[in-house]
Amino acid sequence: MKIAVVGATGLVGTVMLKVLEERNFPLTELIPVASEKSVGKEITFKGKQFKVVNMETAIAMKPDIALFSAGGSTSLKYAPLFAEAGTTVIDNSSAWRMDPSKKLIVPEVNAYELSIDDKIIANPNCSTIQMVVALKPLHDKYRIKRVVVSTYQSVTGTGVKAVEQMMNERKGITDGPMAYPYQIDLNVIPQIDVFEANGYTKEEMKMIKETRKIMGDESIRVTATTVRIPVMGGHSESVNIEFENDFDVADVKSLMQKTPGIILEDDIDNLKYPMPKDAHEKDEVFVGRIRRDESMPNTLNMWIVADNLRKGAATNAVQIAEFLVQKELI
């Protein structure tokens, strides 16, 4: 089992290597791939050194699976070349997510859609992944009509340059590289990605469209406000969900507790609720603050937190790869 990690020197790629190692993924050969500037750099995996190669070398090595996290344009150009060489690509960028011929997969929700013919598989946006893991069991039981979500997203979601910007600002360095149009430390920026003609950002529209595609239900209405905040451990979301049917709060909590991949942290008497500091470097989605919306019938409020580099990116991609291996779909 030859695995290429494309973008191995980046934030997601680095976590991808860690997750492959931790989960003891059954690989026999690792191919770390990055841009020309990183070729020859050494990557440590399971105590061994591997040299970073470029795209062309990696394609010629015909990996079984390529885990891509190297940006949308790189993916658009190279994923089909890997696929032509017989490699199954699992792509973290937004390049293929809304392509009707490509599957958009969160294993806990819709892994059953995958077949041996899927040569380019899309990994959803980080904020969408953590939300749908919690929404799916609720939709199956109570039928979701509408979701209103506001996000509080970590700077790690923008890549290494953003982390550097925030850390520089903390040290008082004012002439470092800027990943955002404004200072992020001691600030909140209500813009993630570029604005679209309807006044929403691309990130907000991703959450709306990707949620429906993953849940396989175009009738679910979603509206989102996505916000960048100066934290590192993960993304947090305040989610308001209106159902067709009424629910019992205790039932919702027990459903969350039973769902694989979710950890319920909901004990307000002891001030227990999910926080990005605690979700950091964890693979699960954390859910808490579950309560009835007293202003609307059949409506629930909840708080969802996950490490965006883990379940929001690397872990989800590795879980897809694990599913493909287990079901012999490569």
Ligand X SMILES: NC(=O)c1ccc[n+]([C@@H]2O[C@H](COP(=O)([O-])OP(=O)(O)OC[C@H]3O[C@@H](n4cnc5c(N)ncnc54)[C@H](OP(=O)(O)O)[C@@H]3O)[C@@H](O)[C@H]2O)c1
Pairing of strands 42-45, 48-51: antiparallel
* Residue 38 near ligand X by CB under 6 A: yes
The answer for 172, left when phi > 0, alpha when psi is -120 to 50, beta otherwise, is left
Minimal distance, residue 151 CB to ligand X, in Å: 12
* Residue 298 near ligand X by CB under 6 A: no
* Residue 57 near ligand X by CB under 6 A: no
Of the candidates 4, 10, 132, 166, which one interacts with ligand X according to CB under 6 A?
10
d(CA 116, CA 104): 15
d(CA 193, CA 198): 14
Minimal distance, residue 139 CB to ligand X, in Å: 23
* Residue 70 near ligand X by CB under 6 A: yes
C-beta of 71 vs 176, nearer to ligand X = 71
**38 labeled binding residue:** yes
* Residue 106 near ligand X by CB under 6 A: no
Active site residue 139: no
Contact present, 5 and 16 (Cβ < 8 Å):
yes
Q: Which residue is nearest to ligand X (CB)?
A: 10
Pairing of strands 221-225, 235-243: unpaired
d(CA 63, CA 324): 14
C-beta of 10 vs 107, nearer to ligand X = 10
C-beta of 70 vs 79, nearer to ligand X = 70
**97 labeled binding residue:** yes
Contact present, 18 and 67 (Cβ < 8 Å):
no
**165 labeled binding residue:** no
**326 labeled binding residue:** no
Of the candidates 19, 27, 31, 34, which one interacts with ligand X according to CB under 6 A?
34
* Residue 80 near ligand X by CB under 6 A: no
Under DSSP, the state recorded for 166 is H
Give the number of residues in contact with ligand X, rule: CB under 6 A: 29
* Residue 153 near ligand X by CB under 6 A: no
Active site residue 212: no
Of the candidates 262, 279, 309, 320, which one interacts with ligand X according to CB under 6 A?
309
Q: What is the DSSP string of 202-229?
A: HHHHHHHHHHHHHHT-TT-EEEEE--B-
Nearest Cα to 324, choosing from 65, 151, 144, 142?
A: 65
Contact present, 32 and 52 (Cβ < 8 Å):
yes
* Residue 72 near ligand X by CB under 6 A: yes
* Residue 32 near ligand X by CB under 6 A: no
- In the shown chain, the binding pattern of residues 256 to 295 toward ligand X, with x for contact by CB under 6 A and - for none, equals ----------------------------------------
Minimal distance, residue 73 CB to ligand X, in Å: 8
Token pair listed for 232: 């590192």
Cβ atoms < 10 Å from Cβ of 293: 15
Which of 5, 17, 126, 302 is flagged as catalytic?
A: 126
Q: What are the distances in angstroms from CA 316 to CA 57, 61, 91, 128, 152?
A: 26, 25, 11, 12, 20
Q: Name the residues annotated as catalytic.
A: 126, 235
Name the site residues for ligand X (rule: CB under 6 A): 7-13, 33-35, 37-38, 55, 69-72, 74, 92-93, 126, 156-157, 159-160, 308-309, 312-313
